[in-house]
Amino acid sequence: MTEHIAVAAGLDAESADWPRALACTGPRREEALARLHEMLVRVARGEVARRGPRLRLTGPELDDLAYQAAADALVAIISKLGQFRGESRFTTWTYKFVIFEVSAKIGRHFWRHPDVRLDAEDWERLPDRFGFDPAQEAEWRDLLAALQRAVTEELTARQRRIFVAIVLNNVPLDTLVIELGSSRNAIYKTLFDARRKLRAVLAADGYIDNDCMGSS
Amino acid sequence: MNGWSALDRFLRTAQSDVGCAEAMQMLHIYAELTAAGAPAEQRYPGIAAHLRACGPCGEDFQGLLAALHSEKD
């Protein structure tokens, strides 16, 4: 804690005071915990309200989710207090935890939802997923057939499973994280590699340009 | 956006993309810079590339930004 306070010495006074108050004992700590919890609930409620219109969740469920996210974020923040390095205001650092908790809880909600299908391969959905106009099918039919072929023949089993779940079945990535017992980073990396491979195949067949972004 | 451009955008991958772990680690710093009007994209191009490509991390970034803006209301 001594090292932490020394690092935070260049911060604004409020950000420097938060970790000290939360690390001490007695009424000062209790007051800081109550204030932090109140702040986290406010941010969580704002975040679920922001995401609410796109979720199949109603008012009381959203409120429950917000309170659970705030409570879990508070536990995480206290356990990681020593990791606050003063690179942002303390409150900004804490908001990050509650936003992540909201994401994780939304992912868990969809995991429990009976409509979520991970492995069903309904390729008829593909044009709609990318917004291809059915009236112009003659223009994109070959492209999507080539894409389906590349998914089937070029991707690894894991890449294919993740592509099918996320692209065809519209499963949220955070839900897939829970389903596969993986991490957001690992799922994203798998899909990243799959996207790059598919682009290369479609470019080699002359369907699209192979202009990956970046210099290396 | 039509189907061709949506597919093209989906299949594009940036070499500078830092991935979820690093973006999540740095998100509070990046969001605070952005909220302050500082050139966060120029300072952290790999995070900017990731937030453009990764739906969940982009959503978290927008949420954090909204929380920072709500402080001013």
Look at residue A216 and tell me whether its pLDDT is greater than 60.
no
Q: Which residues of B touch A147 (CB under 8 A)?
A: 7
Same domain, A15 and A68: yes
Mean pLDDT confidence for A168-176: 89
Identity of the residue in A46, A185, A211 whose CB atom sits nearest the CB atom of B66: A46
**Considering the domain boundaries, does residue A117 fall inside one?**
no
Position A118 confidence tier, pLDDT thresholds 50, 70, 90: low
Give yes or no for A203 touching B (CB within 8 A): no
pTM given for the model: 0.87
Same domain, A100 and A190: no
pLDDT at A8: 46
Alpha carbon distance A177, B35 (integer Å): 29
Instruction: Quick: pLDDT tens for A186-206.
Output: 999 999 999 999 999 999 998
* Nearest chain B residue to A136, by CA: B3
CB contact under 8 A, B27 and A192: no
- Which of A64, A87, A112 is a domain's end point? A112
pLDDT at A213: 52
Same domain, A134 and A165: yes
Q: How far is B3 from chain A (nearest CA, A)?
A: 4
Proportion of chain A above pLDDT 70, given as a percent: 88
Same domain, A130 and A103: no
Same domain, A97 and A23: yes
**Residue B65 · residue A183 · CB < 8 Å:** no
Same domain, A96 and A142: no
CB contact under 8 A, B21 and A185: yes
Range of the domain at A75: 2-112
Instruction: Quick: pLDDT tens for B28-68.
Output: 999 999 999 999 999 999 999 999 999 999 999 999 999 99
Same domain, A8 and A84: yes
- Which of A89, A112, A135 is a domain's end point? A112
CB contact under 8 A, A199 and B12: yes
Measured at the CA of A205, the angle between CA A199 and CA A206, to 5 degrees, comes to 85
**Residue A197 · residue A159 · CB < 8 Å:** yes
- Which of A112, A144, A166 is a domain's end point? A112
**Considering the domain boundaries, does residue A104 fall inside one?**
yes
Q: Which residues contact A133 (CB under 8 A, 6 or more apart)?
A: B2, B3
Average the pLDDT over each of A38-52, A69-83, A106-120, B16-30 and give the range with the smallest value.
A106-120
Position A182 confidence tier, pLDDT thresholds 50, 70, 90: very high
Look at residue B70 and tell me whether its pLDDT is greater than 80.
yes
Look at residue A76 and tell me whether its pLDDT is greater than 80.
yes
Mean pLDDT confidence for A172-188: 92
**Considering the domain boundaries, does residue A78 fall inside one?**
yes
Give yes or no for B38 touching A (CB within 8 A): no
pLDDT at A10: 67
Could you tell me the residue ranges of all domains in chain B?
3-70
CATH of the domain at A155: 1.10.10.10
Give yes or no for A215 touching B (CB within 8 A): yes
pLDDT at A115: 62
Look at residue A160 and tell me whether its pLDDT is greater than 90.
yes
Position B18 confidence tier, pLDDT thresholds 50, 70, 90: very high
Same domain, A11 and A79: yes
Give yes or no for B68 touching A (CB within 8 A): yes
Look at residue A102 and tell me whether its pLDDT is greater than 60.
yes
Instruction: Quick: pLDDT tens for A5-47.
Output: 344 446 899 999 999 999 999 999 999 999 999 999 999 999 9
pLDDT at A113: 65
Give yes or no for A161 touching B (CB within 8 A): no
- Would you call B14 helix, strand, or coil by DSSP? strand
Identity of the residue in B16, B29, B66 whose CB atom sits nearest the CB atom of A88: B29
Count of CB contacts below 8 A, A vs B?
A: 125
Count up the domains in chain A and report the number: 2
CA A167 → CA A171, B22, B71, distances in Å? 8, 24, 36
- Mutate which of B4, B26, B34, B70 to disrupt the A interface (most A C-beta within 10 Å)? B4
DSSP string, A93-118: HHHHHHHHHHHHHHHHHHHH-TT--S
